[in-house]
């Protein structure tokens, strides 16, 4: 991929018109770029703040060619982009980032964990599972409890089933539809951390301070960042993020979810080759947030600074929690980020708020 910087006035394409695409688009506009969104739903959250939206399926060959032709660079707000779509975009002449290797790695949990361990970023023990017999053997090897996940798709806790006793094996496999799967040993972690990092095509890397995350029902509820962590833990997270970025020859921002064990060991839970919900705190904690950082990497600009100037508690507003807006709008230490979604379906990410807790 070329490393020369694209000048302001160039056009950035984004596959996906949800809240991540919306915040990427807003960051790109601030830097003087025009933005085109591709999303099957007309009037998407990102489309409504961008110069143009192409309304088409993510695998529509003509729409992809049109997006590639009308843009100088194209990126994604989600990782489950069909490989054929990436090839078509790249064939149309636009820079495409992150690249096919990052996407294919993140799309398959067995490939991902194999890559991570090879790159020196340790994970829990795992086994590939195609049949109930595989699963029984894996349970023998890894012990219980263990977590069964589909190899592909699935997010926010979907496509997963815990196995707590040998009797759970068949129901768990049925629960995930008997699809190609991965069995993961349970991680005996004391907390969940994440690190947001970026890499340019020339190899320059920038890493944000750690965030500490809490989930409920498989969905992120809060991130507090910078997390309280020893210098050793921070250095190790930096090392892990760098190993992953270099191993994927990555361009853009990546989210790396970590488990911290009682002895301080960091294991990688999963990676997301895109801007990440646990990095939203950077919007109000850093001079250059993860969205601007991703745009900078994709268009070949120098990466921005990652130091925090404020400590932030980020909270997701799900479904009808958006009705809390009057109280949040009145809180002087709270910054609102609403996604412009008309329908507040249960569990749907409608907004997040960043509460300024004090100086970093």
- Cβ 35 to a copy of itself shortest distance, Å: 8
If the CB atoms of residues 34 and 79 are measured against a copy of itself, the closer one turns out to be: 34
Query: Are 311 and 224 a contacting pair, CB within 8 Å?
Result: yes
- Cβ 320 to a copy of itself shortest distance, Å: 13
- Cβ 335 to a copy of itself shortest distance, Å: 6
- Cβ 198 to a copy of itself shortest distance, Å: 14
CA distance 351 to 19: 8
Pairing of strands 95-96, 73-76: parallel
If the CB atoms of residues 8 and 347 are measured against a copy of itself, the closer one turns out to be: 8
CA separation (Å) from 173 to 113, 142, 144, 155? 20, 16, 15, 17
CA distance 278 to 167: 36
Measured from the Cβ of residue 257, the count of other Cβ atoms closer than 10 Å reads 20
Query: Are 309 and 359 a contacting pair, CB within 8 Å?
Result: yes
CA separation (Å) from 157 to 102, 138, 161, 169? 22, 21, 9, 18
- Cβ 11 to a copy of itself shortest distance, Å: 11
If the CB atoms of residues 118 and 333 are measured against a copy of itself, the closer one turns out to be: 333
- Cβ 351 to a copy of itself shortest distance, Å: 7
If the CB atoms of residues 330 and 346 are measured against a copy of itself, the closer one turns out to be: 330
Which tokens sit at 343? Answer: 């329908």
If the CB atoms of residues 24 and 244 are measured against a copy of itself, the closer one turns out to be: 24
If the CB atoms of residues 52 and 152 are measured against a copy of itself, the closer one turns out to be: 52
Residues that bind a copy of itself (CB under 8 A): 5, 7-9, 22, 25-26, 29-34, 43, 48-51, 284, 287-288, 296, 301-302, 304-305, 309-310, 322, 325-326, 329-330, 332-333, 335-340, 342, 351, 356
Query: Are 75 and 252 a contacting pair, CB within 8 Å?
Result: yes
């Amino acid at each position: 991929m070329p490393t020369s910087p694209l000048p302001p006035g160039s056009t950035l394409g984004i596959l996906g018109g949800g809240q991540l695409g919306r915040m990427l688009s807003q960051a790109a506009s601030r830097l003087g770029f025009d933005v085109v969104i591709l999303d099957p739903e007309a009037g998407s959250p990102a489309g409504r703040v961008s110069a143009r939206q192409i309304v088409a399926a993510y695998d529509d060959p003509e729409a992809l060619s049109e997006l590639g032709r009308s843009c100088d660079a194209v990126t994604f707000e989600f990782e489950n982009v069909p490989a054929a779509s990436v090839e078509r975009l790249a064939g149309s002449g636009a820079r495409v980032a992150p690249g096919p290797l990052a996407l294919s790695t993140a799309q398959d949990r067995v490939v991902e964990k194999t890559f991570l361990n090879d790159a020196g970023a340790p994970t829990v023990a795992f086994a590939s599972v195609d049949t109930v017999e595989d699963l029984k053997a894996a349970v023998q090897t890894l012990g219980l409890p263990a977590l069964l996940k589909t190899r592909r798709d699935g997010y926010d806790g979907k496509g997963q089933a815990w196995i707590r006793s040998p009797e759970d094996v068949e129901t768990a496999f049925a629960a995930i539809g008997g699809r190609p799967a991965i069995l993961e040993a349970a991680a005996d972690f004391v907390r969940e951390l994440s690190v947001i990092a970026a890499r340019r095509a020339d190899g320059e890397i920038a890493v944000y301070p750690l965030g500490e995350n809490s989930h409920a029902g498989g969905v992120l509820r809060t991130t507090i960042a910078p997390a309280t962590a020893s210098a050793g833990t921070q250095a190790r997270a930096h090392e892990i993020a760098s190993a992953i970025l270099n191993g994927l020859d990555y361009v853009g921002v990546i989210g790396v979810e970590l488990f911290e064990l009682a002895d301080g060991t960091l294991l990688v839970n999963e990676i997301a080759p895109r801007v990440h919900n646990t990095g939203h705190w950077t919007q109000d904690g850093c001079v250059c947030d993860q969205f601007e950082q991703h745009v900078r990497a994709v268009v070949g600009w120098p990466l921005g600074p990652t130091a925090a100037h404020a400590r932030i508690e980020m909270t997701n507003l799900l479904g009808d929690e958006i009705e809390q807006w009057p109280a949040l709008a009145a809180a002087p230490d709270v910054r609102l980020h609403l996604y412009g979604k008309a329908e507040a379906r249960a569990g749907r990410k409608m907004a997040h708020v960043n509460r300024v807790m004090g100086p970093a």
